[in-house]
Amino acid sequence: MFNPPCGPVSGRRDGTVIRATGIPYAKAARFQPPVPAPDWIEPYAATSPAPACPQGPVPFLDDVLGTRYGELPGSEDCQNLSITMPADLADGERLPVMVWIHGGSYTTGSGDLAIFDPARLVAENRVVVVSVTYRLGLFGFLATRTGRPANLGLLDQLEAFRWVQRNIAAFGGDSRKVTAFGQSAGGDAIAHLMATPEAPSLFQRAILQSAPLGISRGRAKMNHAMGIVAEAVTEDTPAMEVVEREGHVAQVARKFGMLAAMPFGTQYGHAPLPAEADIEAAWNRSAPEIEVLIGHTSEEARLFLPRSPYLSRLARLPVAGTAAVRAIDRVVTEAVYGRAARKFVRRHTRAGGRAHRYVLHWHAPGNIYGAAHTVDLPLLFGNRSTWDGVGLIAGARWEDVDDVGRQLRSLWAGFARGDSLGEKGGIPGALHYQAV
């Protein structure tokens, strides 16, 4: 039993960790900003996973990542978080806290999916991990002309970080040593949380994994066009009809080029974000107080290239086909992830922040996806029963995945503890980083 300020919480032991899952951190009516969840008096049984925000199936990702559509129940009341801590936590012990913001293009995913199970990270490195579930898609990330707010999912995340500051000490966490970490849209969200005035009081370090910062700007016209179509969704539209409508809204984005790769997302000029012209100044204000580890995989775009019939045909051409696909991958990886990450981190250090930049190039031997987008996930959350043999890493021996994974988990946790990374370093054959 735990006794945080929010009210008593009971969890469960699971091998080498203790889990307290599905704890409400906020409440919100549809299309409304969140408010903190009210405190409670009776013990809260935190033994069920947080429900996922309603979302549609993505069979392609199920095949690649081994997820299962419907794995978690769906609910609009999805503002819940789950805490994983070492089972042998000593009285009074205070461990670094790592708050996980999941990815999924701001339309899919959930904090408690099996592929994000942090048990290995926690048990091996003595950290406390908080996994956050938040609103997605039309529920969380699109303004309309009639005044429906944008960035509701981002506001949810802020409430989760506030909850952590208030309550995490009861679970063995040190509220003065909080690291925000997230992959893909999760990394993008954390980058944008860093632009809020409150950010330095909520987390002191940030790990941005494969954040698509190259497509986060210049989205106003696309979002406006999407918002017009989204007016058809009301407060009374059944949840799964909202999800179905999401696909129609996303179709509007197609004429906006590469931005359409992630049609939903953060919107500048809507709370809690400044106008787009002021975003760099906002980031600069928080830079001296938040240390950053930012990077991407070396072949990000290879996750998406096999879905293109044109590129699949191109890849089958002898010699030239393989070279052409590699060239396209390099261009897209650089445009969406690489160049923007370097720009972000250079600005961060000029503004007085500390930062390291990494590239992850590990991949399964002979695998069509190579060092693709999401290949960091099986390394970071290395649960064999979930990850062994899935499409993304098919061809790799689990022992090799686990060896690199242990080193990656140790590196991430060391950063969260405040260990010095030095001028440069890495994992032989898998990852290299350097101070900026």
Q: The tokens of 57 are what?
A: 């199936």
The predicted pLDDT at position 407 comes to 98
Distance separating alpha carbons of residues 79 and 134, to the nearest angstrom? 5
Q: Which residues contact 293 (CB under 8 A, 6 or more apart)?
A: 205, 206, 207, 208, 355, 356, 357, 358, 412, 415, 421, 433
Asked about 373 being catalytic, the answer comes back as: yes
Tell me what pLDDT residue 312 has.
62
Calpha distance 253→246 (Å, rounded): 11
Q: What span, in angstroms and rounded, lies between the C-alpha atoms of 433 and 294?
A: 9
Q: What is the DSSP string of 142-196?
A: ---TT---S-HHHHHHHHHHHHHHHHGGGGTEEEEEEEEEEETHHHHHHHHHTTS
51 phi/psi in degrees, rounded to 5: -70, 155
Sheet holding 128-132, edge to edge: 12-14, 17-24, 80-86, 128-132, 95-101, 173-183, 205-209, 291-297, 355-360, 431-435, 424-427
> Annotated catalytic, 300?
yes
Q: At what angle do helices 239-251 and 220-230 cross, to 10 degrees?
A: 140
- Alpha carbons within 13 A on the beta-carbon side of 406: 7
pLDDT at residue 311, rounded to an integer:
62
Q: What share of the chain is helix, strand, coil (3-state, %, to 5)?
A: 40, 20, 40
Consecutive sets of 10 residues in the chain, 436 residues long: mean pLDDT of each? 97 97 98 98 97 94 90 96 96 96 97 98 98 98 93 98 98 98 98 98 98 96 96 95 95 94 96 98 98 97 74 64 76 92 98 98 95 97 93 96 98 98 97 97
Distinct helix (H) and strand (E) counts, the chain: 15, 15
Cα separation of 46 and 87, whole Å? Answer: 16
Q: Which of 105, 110, 300, 363 is catalytic?
A: 300
- Which position has the token pair 């370097």? 342
Q: What is the pLDDT of residue 393?
A: 97
As a whole number of angstroms, the distance between CA 159 and CA 144 comes to 23
Count CB neighbours of 306 within 10 A: 17
- C-alpha closest to that of 297 among 248, 249, 330: 330
Supply the pLDDT for residue 181.
98
Given the residues 82, 110, 184, 286, select the one marked as catalytic.
Answer: 184
Kindly report whether the global pTM for this prediction surpasses the value 0.85. yes
- Exposed e or buried b per residue across 250-280, where buried means at least 16 C-beta atoms within 10 angstroms of its C-beta: bebbeebeebebbbbbbbbebebbbeeeebb
Q: Which residues contact 400 (CB under 8 A, 6 or more apart)?
A: none
* DSSP collapsed to 3 states, 300-369: HHHHCHHHCHHHHHHHCCCCHHHHHHHHHHHHHHHHHHHHHHHHHHHHHHHCCCCEEEEEECCCCCCCCC
Cis peptide before 272 (omega within 30 of 0): yes
Report the CATH architecture of 9-435.
Answer: 3-Layer(aba) Sandwich (3.40)
Q: Is 276 a catalytic residue?
A: no
> What is the Cα–Cα distance from 250 to 381, expressed in whole angstroms?
30
